[in-house]
Structure 1
Amino acid sequence: MSFLPSQQKPAIAVVIPSYRVRNHILAVLGQIGSEVTAIYVVDDACPEDTGRFVKEHVTDPRVNVLWNDQNLGVGGATLAGMKQAAADGADVIVKIDGDGQMDPALIPSFVGVILIGEADYAKGNRFFDPEGVASMPLGRLIGNAGLSFLAKMSTGYWHSFDPTNGFFAIHASLVGLLPLEKISRRFFFESDLLFRLNVLTARVVDVPMHSHYADEVSNMKPHREIPRFALAHLRNFGKRIFYNYFIRNFSIASLELVLGLALLLFGVVYGLSKWGTSVPATAGTVMIAALPIIVATQLLLAFINYDIQSVPRSTLHLRLKTSVQPMRALRHRDSMKHQHESSPSEPRDSGQV
């Protein structure tokens, strides 16, 4: 069996979740190049009836309109489009927003790194170019920078930045591996998706990009979402560490984490218990409190360094291609052999009437 890449043109699908983007959606669709084979506009119970508007004004045969019966958020709409695109046979799925902030001319850049086997998931990074950062509104700049540092910790992709960027491409073979029903449906969608990809050990790369900010209206309320983001990042961090270092694997880093936390807890509790007493602390008492904290700090830093170096570096969809296809071939062979052995044998002609 050959595992050489197919010469057939790859099927590239674009998913556009649509909610209050009626004023921009036609311009976005008009800029999508011929390299894309299918476009899915997902009307997320939009009060502007964007799906019907697209149906009435767009004649591009690549455009398919999907409707959600109720508003599921940007994540829910995107996942609906991704599932349909994967079911229709897409090789790579690209997600862009319908408000015109993302340049469809960059789609080949996102798709290219996946098709050449350099990544399973390519996402935009608006912080790569200083000029692009200068064009970003100050509030978004501060908020995204802060959330990026939290996301590095919770997702395990320490090399990646701008986790809330909604411009991404993913190899379609990963859609069936992701627990789609568990991924956040709202504004935490992109960060939660990265966390799930890390659990799968998928390789993620950043693609430099600029965003265009004009008269589009953001539906996110920062004062409500930032506390939710912080709690969600903390929860995902705990899940990732527990799964990667105690369930899936147990390494020297696991010991460093356990011993580091134990020594830190002992040093802090013992030190506080001796704080403020009428009897001055002796040098020995100080050392008993300080030394565990110092050693714990070194152990925890070593653990963080190990975690940073453990970012997935091999491409998952290529590993799947070289392992799943032979498995399917073997299962098919065994199934055919079993059917042949279990079928009743043909009666032999005995020559008697």
Structure 2
Amino acid sequence: MPPTGTGVAVIIPSYKVTRHILGVIAAIGPDVERIYVVDDRCPDQSGAFVRAECRDPRVTVLDHAENQGVGGAVMTGYRAALDDGMQILVKVDGDGQMDPALLPAFIAPILAGEADYTKGNRFYDLEQIGAMPPVRLFGNAVLSLLTKLSSGYWDLFDPTNGYTALHATAASHLPFHKISKRYFFETDMLFRLNTIGAVVVDVPMDAKYADEVSNLKISRIATEFLFKHVRNFGKRVLYNYYLRNMSLASLELPLGLAMLLFGTIFGATHWIESARAHVPTPAGTVMVAALPLLMGMQLVLAFLAYDISSVPRRPVQKKSLFRRNA
């Protein structure tokens, strides 16, 4: 019989992972109450394969009529787990990259009330980073910087890491229908979590690469990711600094950007005119351009300093508990 009362569910999006998925399920310990395998219109029919070969009574197989991407598969698993009353929702890939033995480390901060969401970070142990392919290493470093800016979680790294755990209370506040369903899913989750003030914690884990096949094509998603990062940054600033709250930082950012823009345009215009006339630019003109640039940069840096200090610190699960008690 499956364990009861733990409230822990594991969601496994299944797409071209037939070689590994049974081993992943077998390695999941007894502290997990439910396991949801989501067949995302897998060409290998991994859902039917699990139904035929897996004897674990905790397993429920869910099928998509159309491929929805990893995000869509995870959202389907989240909804099923929430409907069944699960309290902690863990997402594990079916390709064997994520060690199920680490599940307690992902669950512990949530159970202790220290976090609403935990995610893996393969960059803690510098000795283990060498196991990561160089292209992925560079890509993760760039994406981490962009994600810090767009999500507001400046203390996190390795944003594309899909080994995650989520508290049901935080999940109930997320707009599942708006979260990206494809490869931007993990990054978009962080943005959405920030907008509800959820606390997110990194969990150290080793990089592990074997014979799994990645379906991610960097050349196809680079432009898409950049656009979505810019969009999420704009939305986050609007939500957190103008709609929900206003502070000195709400003035620093627009004033700083306006000064930077004015200084750049004014300086460039007069430099071009002076170059065409073959005369030196007057010192006064240089100062008029340089002063807004310097002041604008200081204001933008002040905004970033405020933003970095504003990372959510109080878990949503505790806020919701207070509201229920009140």
Per the TM superposition, whether the score is higher than 0.5 is: yes
Match of 1:5? Answer: none
Query: Which segment drifts farther, 226-235 or 77-86?
Result: 226-235
Do structure 1's residue 171 and structure 2's residue 167 form an aligned pair?
Answer: yes
- Contact 1:263 1:296 (C-alpha < 8 Å) held by counterparts: yes
Do structure 1's residue 317 and structure 2's residue 317 form an aligned pair?
Answer: yes
Deviations 1:259-308 (A, max 9, x none): 11111111111112211322432221111110111111111111100000
Do structure 1's residue 247 and structure 2's residue 246 form an aligned pair?
Answer: no
Match of 2:77? Answer: 81
1:119-130 correspondence runs (5 A): 119-130=115-126
Deviations 1:183-236 (A, max 9, x none): 000000000010000000100000000132111100111111122111111111
Once the two structures are TM-superposed, the CA of residue 132 in structure 1 deviates from its matched residue by: 2.2
TM-score by length of 1: 0.88
Do structure 1's residue 96 and structure 2's residue 95 form an aligned pair?
Answer: no
- Contact 1:259 1:296 (C-alpha < 8 Å) held by counterparts: yes
Deviations 1:6-38 (A, max 9, x none): xx9431000000000000001000100000000
Match of 2:288? Answer: 288
1:81-160 correspondence runs (5 A): 81-160=77-156
The code of the aligned residue for 2:93 comes to: D
Identity of aligned residues (%): 55
Structure 1: where are the runs of 5+ without partners? Answer: 1-7, 328-353
Distance across 2 between alignment mates of 1:102 and 1:43: 18
SS in 2 for 1:131: coil
The code of the aligned residue for 2:305 comes to: N
Match of 1:19? Answer: 15
Match of 1:302? Answer: 302
Distance across 2 between alignment mates of 1:124 and 1:170: 12
- Contact 1:20 1:46 (C-alpha < 8 Å) held by counterparts: yes
Q: 2:255 aligns with which of 254, 259, 265?
A: 259
Match of 1:344? Answer: none
Query: Which segment drifts farther, 240-249 or 66-75?
Result: 240-249
Do structure 1's residue 238 and structure 2's residue 234 form an aligned pair?
Answer: yes
- Contact 1:103 1:211 (C-alpha < 8 Å) held by counterparts: no
Aligned residues: 319
Deviations 1:24-69 (A, max 9, x none): 0010001000000000000001011111111111111101110011
1:183-222 correspondence runs (5 A): 183-222=179-218
SS in 2 for 1:275: helix
SS in 1 for 2:128: helix
TM-score by length of 2: 0.96
Distance across 2 between alignment mates of 1:229 and 1:63: 34
Name which one, 1 or 2, has greater alpha-carbon Rg: 1
Distance across 1 between alignment mates of 2:145 and 2:74: 25
1:49-64 correspondence runs (5 A): 49-64=45-60
Once the two structures are TM-superposed, the CA of residue 176 in structure 1 deviates from its matched residue by: 1.9
Match of 2:325? Answer: 326
- Contact 2:169 2:316 (C-alpha < 8 Å) held by counterparts: no
- Contact 1:83 1:175 (C-alpha < 8 Å) held by counterparts: no
- Contact 2:262 2:292 (C-alpha < 8 Å) held by counterparts: yes
- Contact 1:19 1:46 (C-alpha < 8 Å) held by counterparts: yes
- Contact 2:37 2:62 (C-alpha < 8 Å) held by counterparts: yes
The code of the aligned residue for 1:233 comes to: H
Distance across 2 between alignment mates of 1:79 and 1:253: 34
Q: 1:34 aligns with which of 30, 35, 52?
A: 30
- Contact 1:42 1:51 (C-alpha < 8 Å) held by counterparts: yes
Runs of at least 4 residues off by over 4 Å: none
SS in 2 for 1:293: helix
The code of the aligned residue for 2:27 comes to: Q
Structure 2: where are the runs of 5+ without partners? Answer: none
The code of the aligned residue for 1:212 comes to: K
SS in 1 for 2:172: coil
Match of 1:273? Answer: 269
